[in-house]
Copies of this chain bind each other. A is one copy, B any other.
Amino acid sequence: MDDEFELLLERITPALRSHDLTALRQIVREQDAPEIVRLLEREDDADRAVLYRLLARDQALEVFELLDGTMRTELFASLQGEDVARVFEAIDPDDRAQLVDELPAGVAQKLMRGLSARERELTAPILGYPRGSIGRFMSTEYVRLQPHLTLGDALTHVRYRGAGAETIYTLPVTDAQRRVLGVVGLRDLVMGAGDRLVQDVMTDARHVHANEDAEPAARSVVNAQLLAAPVVDSEDRLLGLLTVDDAARILEEADDEDAARQGASEPLRRPYLTTPVLRIVRSRVVWLLVLAVSALFTVGVLGFFEESLEKVVTLALFVPLLTGTAGNTGAQAATTVTRALAVGDVSARDALAVAWREVRVGALLGGLLGLLGFALASIVFGLPLGAVIGLTLLGICTLAATVGGVMPMLARVVRADPAVFSTPFISTFCDATSLIIYFAVATWILQL
């Protein structure tokens, strides 16, 4: 697959350079939508707009639906008014709602006014839910069934009403008040005997509330291996469906964010190679500054012990080794616990259990490294310094694992993103504390 894409790049690059629109049109029209998406993600704004305008109408729509949020907004900004209005009318209501969020308010309002009444009606309820809630991602075009229909009649109903729906594979069943009673799969309608009733084949619906946070709701849909789940209001009335492809996209964005935060930067939300350098700098500089300023604390700690350092300069040699080991141990614990929180293996009420596990893990790791450090340092620098290094490693590993494990739990308790207590954050915190432990142990053993 990758070789094919390389070939495509080799064909398209010269055509783009020479502005050979005929050749470009021919090339892009023979590609699958996902290939075109990859292509657009690699090109700059101007070329992207050129390529996009050359797509066939159906293709353009299909490609648009596969693009990430930021790419959609940017593409919109570089297209002409008429193209914009056409795409805006044709896309799904939940995709439209997300565009409305990202576009300048004036543009968005104008586009909404240009919509047909039906499409506006389908979009409005989505916009009523807070950003980041599942309501923002629901499909409001669905087919619902009534419980007393026969499967044969239900199939006819689907045939009659299904054309505009985002999916007809999951069919919510509702009562007269639109309250969700269950769901039926299209498979049940096709495979079941035509005279059975919908209420006899429907299964309990795992439904999500429109106000819920998008990430855990999406994860519950993916984990339960559903194709779609009904989205309901506070009185369990049907509002829409969350489809598995929207759920997968929500999870991918969340994982993107977690991965970036663990490396102490903000997610780019766009392909790396076409992101301007200054934008990459912006995604990193705040965190880097915050961490550097926190690291000033280590200068303070070492300044406090400067006299001891002057007496035994050899102590300075181990500073990066010790702070590094503390940082690594803390990072390991933080990564494991952050991931466990993200996938729902651990919840806020497990904080004490997590702390107790990490104390033990840290003490075991520290004991092991401490013995090794004691042996090596004793041989090279003598027994007293060996003892200092060994005991310090035991102490800092225990502390770092515990801090690394507890920090993400604390974040969850105060409802912040656990990934914010990233590896670099934990490292910086552990640097300062491990220096204090180091010099406390050294002062005691070496009688400084």
A427 within 8 A of B: yes
Closest to A248 in B: B222
Cβ of A39 < 8 Å from any Cβ of B?
no
Q: Which of A33, A206, A288 has the most CB of B within 10 A?
A: A288
Contacts of A423 in B (CB 8 A): 262-263, 331, 423-424
Q: Which residue from chain B places its CB closest to the CB of A294 in the assembled complex?
A: B324
Q: Is the CB of B41 within 8 A of A335?
A: no
- Cβ–Cβ contact A320 & B369, under 8 A: no
Are B335 and A263 neighbours in the complex by a CB distance under 8 Å?
yes
What residue of chain B has the Cβ atom nearest to residue A280's Cβ? Answer: B361
* Minimum Cβ distance to chain B for residue A247 (Å): 9
Residues on the B chain within 8 Å of A360, using CB:
277
A344 at the interface (CB under 8 A from B): yes
**A307-351 CB contacts (< 8 Å) to partner B:** 309-310, 313-314, 316-321, 323-325, 327-329, 331-332, 334-340, 343-347, 349-350
Contact B318 A299 (CB under 8 A): yes
Stretch at the interface among A46-54, A98-106, A234-242, A264-272: A264-272
List B contacts of A353 (CB < 8 A).
Answer: 273
Contact of A334 among B41, B263, B431 (CB under 8 A): B263
Q: Assess whether A446 is interfacial by the CB under 8 Å rule.
A: no
How does the 8 Å CB contact mask read for A2-45 relative to B, with 1 for contact and 0 for none? 10001000000000000000000000000011100110010000
Asked if A332 contacts B284 (CB within 8 A), the reply is yes
A219 (CB) vs chain B CBs: closest residue = B252
Within 8 Å of chain B (Cβ to Cβ): is A296?
yes
Give min CB distance, A432 to chain B, whole Å. 8
8 A Cβ contacts from A227-259 to B: 227, 244-245, 248, 252, 255-256, 258-259
A285–B325 CA distance with the chains assembled, in angstroms: 12
> Is A306 in the interface zone, CB < 8 Å from B?
yes
Most chain-B CB neighbours within 10 Å: which of A296, A309, A332? A332
A122 within 8 A of B: no
Asked whether, in the complex, the Cβ of A265 is within 8 Å of the Cβ of B317, the reply is no
* Residue contact B2 to A347, C-beta cutoff 8 Å: yes
Contact with B along A410-445 (1 / 0, CB 8 A): 000000000000011001100110010000000000
> Of the candidates B186, B244, B318, which one forms a contact with A190 in the assembled complex, judged by CB atoms under 8 Å apart?
B186
* Contact of A223 with B by CB under 8 A: yes
CB distance from A260 to the nearest CB of B (A): 6
Please judge, given known A-B contacts A262-B423, A320-B435, A349-B6, whether A281 and B361 are in contact too, CB under 8 Å. Answer: yes
Residues in B neighbouring A248, C-beta threshold 8 A? 222, 244, 248
Chain copies in complex: 2
Q: Is the CB of B346 within 8 A of A272?
A: yes
Q: How far is the CA of A321 from the CA of B252 in the complex (A)?
A: 34
Does A216 interact with chain B (Cβ within 8 Å)?
Answer: yes
Tell yes or no: A148 within 8 A of B by CB.
no
The reply to whether the CB of A158 lies closer than 8 angstroms to some CB of chain B is yes
B428 touches A324 (CB 8 A): yes
In this assembly, does A291 line the interface, its C-beta being within 8 Å of a C-beta of chain B? yes
Q: Write the chain B residue with the least CB distance to A207.
A: B1
Asked if A303 is at the interface of the complex by the 8 Å CB criterion, the answer is yes
Q: By the criterion CB–CB under 8 Å, are A220 and B169 in contact? A: no
CB A342 to nearest CB in B, in angstroms, measures 8
A376 nearest CB neighbor, chain B only: B296
Closest B residue to A300 by beta carbon equals: B317
Chain B min CB distance to A174 (Å): 19
Asked whether A117 is an interface residue with its Cβ less than 8 Å from the other chain, the reply is no
Q: Could you give 7 example pairs across A and B, Cβ below 8 Å?
A: A6-B349, A273-B350, A281-B361, A283-B336, A288-B328, A292-B373, A302-B316
